[in-house]
Structure 1
């Protein structure tokens, strides 16, 4: 795939995969090593979910969701401690990671209204190239022309163990319950009618079950440099 004039010798990288596979951490580190922009699409869906919950809007209420989205301004801002998420000027970085949001985000992400608006935002962000974007349908739907597509996965047991380690000590949830919730979320993501979780036909699959984050990042950086050389 030839790069278009004005792309400044950069490519777009799409990283898809199920919940807890490490996509966000890996994508952020890959972007840092390449000097690219990291776009956390999951955080964008979480921001919509949080905003809807605050107004008691259910995921089935399409007209109310449409009205909410029309006035929603989502900003992703990199910083020394990672990416901060702002909704209409308010920093919601911590709030969007709550268990309440986590349990509901797949339902809002299945909404055609929500996906339509956020997908358009994400394509606009990637138009100038040099973007690393992670999510569930980046390679298949949002950026089908991305020069490098990676499908990052890991076993349910391993993904649950990783999430469990990240939880605060006073979190009242067992590892077994977390495994169950991740498996349920996988099923929701894979079976939804609109932009389900799928591996793009030209994506490279990486199973991170027995890989360190550094090894995964190094693999993707190497692949990106190969793809960039091929595209020139």
Structure 2
């Protein structure tokens, strides 16, 4: 049985990396709905986050790729499957993806879910871990004119044409307001034309505090990156990460 935390994590990943839309196939008069989640990876090895997402939605859908040498997709076009996944994730999804689901459903004469949002402390942290697994990064920086010193940082970016997006504000709230929000910034990626909004925190103790909140739900790849830089975090990460409650 899939836990509430795992569904919230999957919704967070979908809020960051997923989409649901419709298209008109050749030789057809009616539109078809599709749902997908993308993630970069290494050829021959589907990303762990996509395998975990697939498991969270009861093993349905397929994973294809890599495209352009690195990009993988989990995807389904089955209406019954999209309806079921939408119902499972709906309580935890952000506003933008709810609107996307509803629009796509109306275009194929289906009904969008109507469940009320679930915003408990633990489910919000699970959701935030999913968003971070898809969109965030942990990295080390070297100080200028300092030999051997490196500092830990966490970073997450979201785009929006209408002010700070709900996803980044919700993430900030889920981690108890730690770190700082900034923006709008000029887009760095050629894939986005919208202004960028950033969340970031730096320093051993601040980064460690955020990671402790996310750790019970954080994905394997994110954990491995953190552990590889654990010497620059609080002692509990050197020992393999905080205990999972």
Higher helix share: 1
Bigger relative contact order (CA 8 A; separation at least 6): 1
* Greater percentage in strand: 2
Rg larger in 1 or in 2? 2
TM-score by length of 2: 0.29
